[in-house]
Structure 1
């Protein structure tokens, strides 16, 4: 008479691999480990570099307008449709330039964050 094999309850694997599991990058960032802090610092540096670039370029363009008006009297005294040219430039070109700069900044910041999220998701 043959007996059926005895049932065995498996509670864990028998591989003998007792190495601790390496935390994911998402957990590293959440736990504020040195590796997570390094990744987060790189994100902050990239966003700061972007912000400083946008502010510097906008400040340069806006800073050059008064210099242009001061150095070139013909531009300062010119009129278009009865309005002084400096007023038109300041009223019609500066605000769209600021809005476009803000729009480009937002897109670039979102791209940086998406790249960071991809890196975190992959590891």
Structure 2
């Protein structure tokens, strides 16, 4: 005698209708779906402007700081003037760190977006 198959449900099916409705709104590009996507894009753009703009401002102000404070320009480290050393070595790790931070924040924004859709 064969045993009958039994369906085992591990997740609660309640609330699935709202998730499907939100996904349909995103796919059909309704006004609600467009607002959700616009908010995600706005968050990503704000993050890019803050991190990228701050980095650009820092890199642009370094030569101005050395011009404004000539005492700093005369400092030598390992026989190389400090402005040359900082302008040659600082941008690369700084840009890498900012890119890494931006990627982490962007992924967090996207995960928050997915979580808000899955609610």
TM-score between both structures, scaled by the size of structure 2: 0.80
**What RMSD over aligned residues (CA atoms) do the two structures have, in Å?**
1.5
Question: 1 or 2, which has the higher helix percentage?
Answer: 2
Q: Deviations over 1:52-92 (max 9, x none)?
A: 11111101211210111111111112211111111111122
Bigger Rg, which one: 1
Aligned residue-pair number: 102
Structure 2 unaligned runs (5+)? Answer: 1-16
The structure whose RCO (Cα within 8 Å, separation 6+) is larger is 2
Match of 2:80 among 80, 83, 92: 83
Could you list the structure 1 runs, at least 4 aligned residues long, displaced by more than 6 angstroms after superposition. Answer: none
> The residue matched to 1:24 in structure 2 has which SS?
helix
Q: Which runs of 5+ in 1 are unaligned?
A: 1-20
